[in-house]
Amino acid sequence: MNEDWEDESLKIDILASALHMDKSESKELVESLATRLQAILPDSTTVERAGWMLSSDRPVKKLVVRFDDVHLGLAKDKSRVTATIMKIVRGVVLKTSEVSLDDWIKTLATELSKASATNAGMKKALSDFVN
């Protein structure tokens, strides 16, 4: 096996573990992910909140993180969280797949790792995110 691939795989696993962050409920995880992703990817993260605009309690209803060739979405309702991965080609969504939350987090970790390989600012932000 290629040592670079193993190192990259390990980085993705560590990042995926950090994304899980010991949250017992997926709804808490969505809130935490929304906050963290808006901090490190403000231009690529869209968060739609439920509730009245002036209410102190405005939970995340929908979260979308956009990368060049994939968009990752989480939608939360009262009873469950739905995770989707959208395949993008030239700005057009070709396929949308519903996946498990674990698979969604692994895909997010992979995409964040790819983005950090080409962007020094992203690399620092991810380092802060994991630590």
pLDDT tens figures, 83-128: 999 999 988 889 999 999 888 988 988 888 888 777 777 777 666 6
Q: Is residue 130 part of a domain?
A: no
Does residue 78 form part of some domain?
yes
Q: Is residue 18 part of a domain?
A: yes
Confidence of residue 18 (pLDDT cuts 50, 70, 90): low
Domain that holds residue 18: 3-124
Is 73 within the bounds of a domain? Answer: yes
Question: pTM, whole model, 2 decimals?
Answer: 0.76
- The domain tally of the chain equals 1
Question: Is 80 part of a structural domain of the chain?
Answer: yes
How high is the mean pLDDT of the chain?
78
- pLDDT (0 to 100) of residue 128: 64
Query: Beta-strand (E) ranges in 1-131?
Result: 45-49, 60-66, 70-76, 81-89, 92-99
Q: Is 49 within the bounds of a domain?
A: yes
In a domain, residue 63? The reply is: yes
| Residue 129 falls inside a structural domain | no
